[in-house]
Structures are given as structure tokens and as C-alpha cells.
């Protein structure tokens, strides 16, 4: 009596598990459009050594300007430097 009920319960749980697996397999991850400087061919990642205290002070100031990041600041400073060198 209980053996039959147990067999039916196992069959039902197996069918349920198969359905859950099938649902998971059907879900496809969304593709994101790359929209950062890292993937933009007009930008090149470079490195530089600066003093820790200078970097920390800059980070504090940049927190007050949410529309500007470190890369923007470096780009601005280097562009100004280039302009000054080319006009002298």
C-alpha cells in the first residue's frame, strides 16, 4: 500500500525536476552592449605612478563631482599640457 504511494511520489518528483531543468536551460543571458571606455577604440589604457597622498586627495575631490572620474581628469590635464606645449 505505501510502496505504491512512494513509487508514484518518486515519479512525480522526477517529472517535476525534469521540467525545472528544462526551464533553466531555456533562459538565455541577455547580451549587453559594450558602452565603456575600455571597449571604445578611441581610448587607450595606460599606467602611471603618482604619490598615494596625491591620489587620495584627488579621489576625495572627485567624489564631489559625480559626472567626472579619474580618467576624465587625467585626459583634461594631458590635453591642457599638450595645448600649452604646442602653442609655446
- pLDDT by residue (tens digit) across 6-49? 777 777 766 555 555 555 566 777 777 767 888 999 999 999 99
pLDDT for residue 79 is more than 90: yes
Mean pLDDT for the chain overall:
83
Q: Residue 30 CA to chain centroid, in angstroms?
A: 14
% residues pLDDT > 90 (the chain): 53
Task: State the Cα–Cα distance between residues 44 and 30, nearest whole angstrom.
Answer: 27
DSSP-derived letter for residue 38 is G
User: Taking the CA of residue 81 as centre, how many other CA atoms within 13 Å lie in the half-sphere pointing to its CB?
Assistant: 6
Q: Where in the sequence is the domain holding 41, given as residue range(s)?
A: 2-87
Between 70 and 32, the higher pLDDT residue? 70
pTM of the predicted model as reported, rounded to 2 decimal places: 0.57
Q: How many domains does the chain have?
A: 1
Task: State the Cα–Cα distance between residues 32 and 62, nearest whole angstrom.
Answer: 28
Amino acid at each position: 500500500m505505501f510502496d505504491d504511494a512512494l513509487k508514484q511520489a518518486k515519479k512525480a518528483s522526477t517529472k517535476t525536476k525534469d521540467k525545472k531543468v528544462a526551464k533553466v536551460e531555456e533562459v538565455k543571458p541577455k547580451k549587453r552592449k559594450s558602452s565603456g571606455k575600455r571597449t571604445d577604440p578611441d581610448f587607450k589604457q595606460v599606467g602611471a605612478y603618482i604619490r598615494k597622498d596625491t591620489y587620495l586627495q584627488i579621489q576625495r575631490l572627485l567624489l564631489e563631482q559625480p559626472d567626472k572620474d579619474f580618467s576624465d581628469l587625467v585626459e583634461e590635464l594631458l590635453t591642457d599640457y599638450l595645448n600649452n606645449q604646442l602653442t609655446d
